[in-house]
Amino acid sequence: MAVIKLQRPKLSIGEKLYLGALVKGFFLTLGHAIKTLRGKSIGADTLASSGLGVTMQFPEQRWDDHMPEYYRGAPALVTDEQGRERCVSCQLCEFICPPKAIKITPSEIPAGDRWAKVEKRPLEFDIDMIRCIYCGMCEEVCPEQAIYLRKDYLITGLKRADMVHDKKKLYEIGGMRVGLVNKWNELK
Amino acid sequence: MPEIFLNLAIIITKIVFFTFLVVLPLVPLSVYFERRFSAVIQDRVGPNRVGIPLTLLGMKKDFHFFGLVQPIADGLKLFLKEDFTPEHVRKAFYWMAPALTVVPALITVCVVPFGSSVSLFGHTEKLVIADIDIGPLFIFSVASLSVYGITLAGWASNSKFPFIGGVRSTAQMISYEIALGLSIIPVLLYYGDLNLSRIVQQQADHGWLLLPLWKNGTLSLPDLNTALFLIPAAIAFLIFTISIFAETNRMPFDLPECETELVGGYHTEYSSMKFAMFFMGEYAAMVIGSALIVTLFLGGWSIGFGLDAIVAKWEIFGVGIAGLIHLGCFLTKLLIFILFFILVRWTVPRFRYDQLMKLGWVVFFEAALLNVFLAALIIAAPQLTAAIIGIGAVLLVAITLAVIWVAKVSDDTVRPIPA
């Protein structure tokens, strides 16, 4: 390998004295401080700052309006236009889930039901939000477009049991989603 | 006999008031300012939440007070942490070291003049604990003891990174103590006094050392000699301030505890209140250092612009309150200087170790020494004939050039031996 000899730049006396650079530095840092106090920091408006620096102060200000389309929040189950739960408990998401956060107990749909030909639906569907890593693999693997990562990010609880989202909670977060493929609908 | 008891009571009151009610609260306050001001410099908010949690008591709203209660929360946290002593340390010294860093810093409080004087029932009392005639010398001799705490901590921890930190601290102290002592000799020559409260009184009457814009209570331009003395005064101020930075282990000279190289430096093995005592010692040293700078160069407690004489006559219910106003003025100056310390921390990057030693031994030592002669020449000029002044000036310039030349020659890095 060739050895490259770097020539240090020649400094003038002013630069060697170091004092000019110091004063310049003071003005720079102090300028930042003053701009911060006036709420005029660079990027303060685009980042929706609280008026002090570029920081958004959380409980009073939320970034909900600034969330990108592709944001991955809590995974949730969705229903279709007719209120049918889309999940057929194939358990693909359970198997692909890297941290093993999903637990599904499948059950049959009784013969008299309107959607009896779907045959299966989940009896229990638990996602342990302590384990979930928001990777979105469940959404990607689902053949029924039943599980989606929504924009909910404030998932808190006082004990471990609170952090397990059961089926009811999952449908509550997911709600109804229209405009998806509906292969189980009646033929017209 | 009662006279002695009265004096004793006054002294104890002063010690308790100044040490525990003025300087010690300044330590958490400067930590708060450190955090908030650092945040503001970096376009952040900083701790602004900790306040009085009234919602816990069922009220509607909390009081935040801009997060001013944060230091108390920090202190409580440090109290409640486990005080862990590792197996491999040398116990006696390990326990002694934190106290050795805090105590000298707090002892130096006793010669700092916090205000002029308060009169009560016809009894006038100066706002300084010990009005001794060797003020700055006392501070230097006691403050340099605190390096023993750091060195002992490094050695007693019996672990490599703290040890390097301790050794660095010693080397740094040796390099900067000389410049620190030499740099204020011009100032002491100018005042002709070592008593800090008399120095401040003189500044109140004749203008601050760096701002001599009034004389005997009236605004006026300084005479030629005083104006000329601004040059050595400014050099002394620069060297003294930078040396104080090194002395208090503050950025940009915080080599004994630089996290990037030495984990935590000399206090790596410490936890809980023992760690907090190092912290307190460092900040107390910072407070005392800025107090000394303010006292020597920026007029101490004096308000300036000839206002001190007017304030001195003010009384409320027969109590002379001039001292309290001056105390407030002194604390304001102190806080501004502490903010300056913090500003420097975020402006100047940390020096490399050899650069630090070179700055101390090659630049500041010589500069402070030459500054002494320059100051002496300017002070003595009115008594000397023009010829002697000229010879002195020429000699001074010649010596300065010689010193610069020697520094430049010795600066040449060792060239590799040609093969």
Nearest CB among A30, A42, A55 relative to B45 is that of A55
DSSP state string for B290-339: HHHHHHHHS-TT---TT-HHHHTT-EETTEE-HHHHHHHHHHHHHHHHHH
pLDDT of residue A92: 93
Name the token pair of A55. Answer: 């920081």
What is the torsion angle, in degrees rounded to the nearest 10, for the CA atoms of residue B326, residue B191, residue B208 and residue B134? Answer: -40
pLDDT at B418: 66
pLDDT band for position A97 (50/70/90)?
A: very high
Dist. CA B26–CA B36, nearest whole Å: 15
- The pLDDT mean for chain A works out to 87
What would the two tokens of residue A126 be? 């638990």
Nearest residue of A to residue B346, measured between CA atoms: A29
For residues B146 and B281, is the Cβ–Cβ distance under 8 A?
A: yes
Q: Please indicate if any CB of chain A lies within 8 Å of the CB of B348.
A: yes
What confidence score (pLDDT) does residue A128 get?
92
Q: Which residue has the tokens 């002496």?
A: B376
Say if the Cβ atoms of A53 and B348 lie within 8 Å.
no
Would residue B418 count as lying in a domain?
no
User: pLDDT-based confidence at A137, cuts 50/70/90?
Assistant: very high
- Would you state the pLDDT for residue B414? 58
Domain-located, residue B58: no
Tell which of B49, B347, B355 to mutate to test the A interface (max A CBs under 10 Å): B347
User: In the structure, how many helices (H) and strands (E) does chain A have?
Assistant: 5, 5
| Interface contact B343, partner A, CB < 8 A | yes
Joined tokens for residue A125: 């569907």
Q: Which helix or strand (DSSP H or E) is residue A96 part of?
A: helix A92-96
Closest Cα in chain A, distance from residue B258 (Å):
21
Is residue B44 within 8 angstroms of chain A, CB to CB?
A: yes
Kindly report, residue by residue over A15-70, the tens digit of the pLDDT. 777 888 888 999 999 998 898 888 888 887 777 778 788 888 888 888 888 888 88
Residue B346 forms part of a structural domain? yes
CB B196 within 8 A of CB B295: yes
Contacts of A40 in chain B (CB under 8 A): none
Is the pLDDT assigned to residue A104 strictly greater than 90? yes
Low-confidence ranges of chain B (pLDDT < 50): none
Q: Say what the pLDDT of residue B320 is.
A: 66
Q: Does A39 touch chain B (CB under 8 A)?
A: no
- The verdict on residue B326 lying in a domain is yes
Write out the residue range of the structural domain in which residue B131 sits: 2-51+66-411
Please determine, for residue A11, whether its predicted confidence score (pLDDT) is greater than 70: yes
Whether B107 is covered by a domain: the verdict is: yes
pLDDT tens per residue across span B203-258: 887 778 777 777 776 777 777 777 888 888 888 998 999 888 888 888 788 777 77
Each residue's pLDDT tens digit, B75-134: 888 889 888 888 888 888 888 888 888 888 888 888 888 877 777 766 777 778 888 888
Cβ contacts (< 8 Å) between A57 and chain B: which residues? 45
- Choose among A26, A53, A57: nearest Cβ to B43: A53
Q: Which of B389, B409, B293, B272 is nearest to B341 (CA)?
A: B293
pLDDT at B44: 87
Residue B60 maps to a domain: no
Q: Would the CB atoms of B45 and A25 count as touching at under 8 Å?
A: no
- CB-CB under 8 Å, B39 with A42: no
Residue B417 lies in a domain: no
First to last CA, chain A: 74
> Which of A29, A37, A50 should we substitute to test contact with B (largest number of B Cβ atoms within 10 Å)?
A29
Burial class (CB in 10 A: 0-12, 13-18, 19+), B175: buried
* Residue B84 in contact with partner chain A when CB distance is under 8 A: no
Q: How many domains, chain B? A: 1
B262 with B268: CB under 8 angstroms?
yes
Residue A107 has pLDDT above 70, yes or no: yes
- Tell whether A20 lies on the interface with B, counting CB pairs under 8 A: no
State residue B413's pLDDT score. 62
| pLDDT at res. A83 | 82
A122 versus B316: the higher-pLDDT residue is A122
Q: Measure B37 CA to nearest chain A CA, in Å.
A: 8
Q: Is A32 on the interface with B (CB under 8 A)?
A: yes
Crossing angle for the helix pair B24-41 and B322-347, nearest 10 degrees?
40
Residue at B419 is within a domain: no
Find all residues with CB under 8 Å of B191, minimum gap 6, and list them.
Answer: B198, B199, B202
What is the distance between the alpha carbons of residues B338 and B342, in angstroms, rounded to a whole number? 6
Of B27, B23, B32, the closest CA to residue B66 belongs to B32
CB within 8 A of A140, min separation 6: which ones? none
Token output for A54? 């570029």
Say if CB B166 and CB B90 are below 8 A apart.
no
CB A59 within 8 A of CB A115: no
Note whether B40 contacts A: Cβ–Cβ < 8 A.
yes
Residue A138: which pLDDT band, with cuts at 50, 70 and 90?
A: very high
* Tokens of residue B103, six digits: 């105590």
User: What distance in Å separates residue A3's CA from the closest CA in chain B?
Assistant: 16
